[in-house]
Amino acid sequence: MFKKKSYEQQMTFRKLFKKGDLATKLSFVVMGAANLANKQYLKGLIFLVSEIAFFYWLIRNGVQALSMLATLGTKEQGLVFDEQLGIQILQEGDNSMLLLLFGIAAILLCVFLVVMYVINLKSARHIHELKEADEKIPSTMDDLGSLLNERFYATLMAIPLLGVLLFTVLPLLYMVSIAFTNYDHTHLPPKNLFTWVGLVNFGNVISGKMAGTFFPVLGWTLTWATLATVTCFFFGILLALLINTKGLKFKGVWRTIFVITMAVPQFISLLVMRNLLNGAGPINATLLSLGLIDAAIPFLTDPIWAKITVVVVNMWIGIPATMLVSTGIIQNLPTDQIEAARIDGANKLQIFRNITFPQILFVMMPALIQQFIGNINNFNVIFLLTGGGPSNSDFYGAGSTDLLVTWLYNLTVNTMDYNLASVIGILIFILSAVFSLLAYTRTNSFKEG
Of 137-141, 147-151, 409-413, the one with minimum mean pLDDT is 147-151
Using the 3D structure, point to which of 158, 177, 198 is the last residue of a domain.
Answer: 198
User: Is 382 part of any domain?
Assistant: yes
What range defines the domain where residue 28 resides? 13-198
Domain check: are 354 and 217 in the same one?
yes
Domain tally for the chain? 2
Q: Could you tell me which residues come within 8 angstroms of residue 369 by beta carbon, excluding any fewer than 6 positions away?
A: 435, 436, 439, 440, 443
Q: Are residues 128 and 160 in the same domain?
A: yes
Alpha-carbon span 146 to 140, nearest angstrom: 10
Residue 184 sits in the same domain as residue 317: no
Mean pLDDT is lowest, of 144-148, 166-170, 279-283, 380-384, for: 144-148
Question: Residue 12 gets which letter from DSSP?
Answer: P
8 inside domain? no
Write the CATH number for 359.
Answer: 1.10.3720.10
Q: Specify if 4 maps to a domain.
A: no
Do 326 and 309 sit in the same domain of this protein? yes
Domain boundary among 164, 198, 232: 198
Looking at residue 20, the DSSP 8-state letter turns out to be S
Query: Do 138 and 175 share a structural domain?
Result: yes
- 170-210 confidence digits (pLDDT tens): 999 999 999 999 999 999 998 899 999 999 999 999 998 89
Given a cut of 60, whether residue 142 has pLDDT beyond it is yes
Contact predicate 398/388, CB 8 Å: yes
Tell me which amino acid residue 448 is.
E
Same-domain pairing of 194 and 233: no
Asked whether 274 and 384 are in contact (CB, 8 A), the reply is: yes
Q: Answer yes or no: do 138 and 239 share one domain.
A: no
Within a domain: residue 5?
Answer: no
Can you name the residues that pair with 91 across neighbouring β-strands?
78
Residue 2: predicted pLDDT: 38
Question: Within a domain: residue 6?
Answer: no
Give the other-Cβ count within 10 Å of 295's Cβ.
9
257 and 113 part of one domain: no
Residues 191 and 208 in one domain: no
| Residue 315: inside a domain | yes
Is 233 found in the same domain as 182?
no
Q: Point out the domain boundary residue: 181, 198, 215.
A: 198
Residue 3 lies in a domain: no
Asked if 278 and 378 sit in the same domain, the reply is: yes
- The model carries a pTM of 0.86
Measuring CA to CA, which residue among 248, 164, 222, 218 is closest to residue 407? 218
In 3-state terms, the chain is what percent helix, strand and coil (to 5)? Answer: 70, 5, 30
222 and 162 share a domain?
no
